[in-house]
Chains A and B, each alone.
Chain A
């Protein structure tokens, strides 16, 4: 099974700045996704990270706010731009091989915006 590592594990950022989160998988995976888990709420899918092309965003999420890169089958980054306190959340990277395979999650990045 794939092991997913995220960096940083937590950060405190000032309003108006940006944070880039790195996601590294220990093996090649077909699919990678980014989720958000807001305080006291469940997980919401932000986007599918597509290798070598633009990410596919879910309703309510836009590329200007959440630019995503995926240069290869083991690595992806999520940037949360122009931070506001409402962006305080846990951001989770996930990945796997597709239908019939399990979806693995990283341990998340806890972002606090002051």
Chain B
């Protein structure tokens, strides 16, 4: 089993502040995905990163995949209350294991006005 550790577990910030969530593993992943989950709903895919060192931006969200493809980070600039949610990273071991994801425990982000 390839374990993914997320940190921090919980983050509470004021609107307008920046935040970073980390996802680390001792194993190499063929790809890594970030999801956001809101109460009563399933996870929604935000981004998939596949290349070591890759950086992807989605409006105020910046995702980075480590050079060795073992870790990733999610940075939110000028957070808004709508960014509140549970952020999950998930790794795919090989391209043959599409959909068979190893999830981290999640980071609960709360952005207050």
Residues of A near any B CB (own CB < 8 A): 4, 31, 33, 41-45, 48, 58, 92, 94-96, 98-99, 102-108
User: What number of B residues sit within 8 Å (CB to CB) of A?
Assistant: 19
The interface residues of chain A lying within 8 Å CB-to-CB of B99 are 31, 33, 48, 94-96, 98, 103
The verdict on A107 contacting B104 (CB below 8 Å), with A31-B98, A42-B88, A94-B99 known, is no
Taking a contact as CB atoms under 8 Å apart, the answer to whether A103 and B45 are in contact is yes
Supposing A4-B42, A94-B42, A99-B95 touch, asked if A43 and B101 sit within 8 A by C-beta, the answer is: yes
CA A95 – CA B100 in complex, angstroms?
10
Contact B43 A105 (CB under 8 A): yes
Cross-chain contact of A33 among B33, B40, B100 (Cβ < 8 A)? B100
In the complex, the answer to whether B106 meets A106 with C-beta atoms within 8 Å is: no
| Complex Cα gap A110–B98 (Å) | 25
Residue contact A43 to B40, C-beta cutoff 8 Å: no
For window 9-40 of B, CB contacts with A under 8 Å fall at 33, 40
Q: With the chains together, A98 CA to B31 CA distance in Å?
A: 13
Using Cβ atoms and an 8 Å threshold, which residues of chain A touch B43? 43, 92, 105
| Contact yes or no, A107 B100, CB < 8 A | no
CB distance from A80 to the nearest CB of B (A): 18
Decide: B42 and A42 in contact? CB cutoff 8 A: no
Q: Which residues of B contact A33 (CB under 8 A)?
A: 99-100
Q: In the complex, what's the smallest C-beta–C-beta distance from B67 to chain A, in angstroms?
A: 23
Partner of A42, one of B33, B44, B100, B106: B106
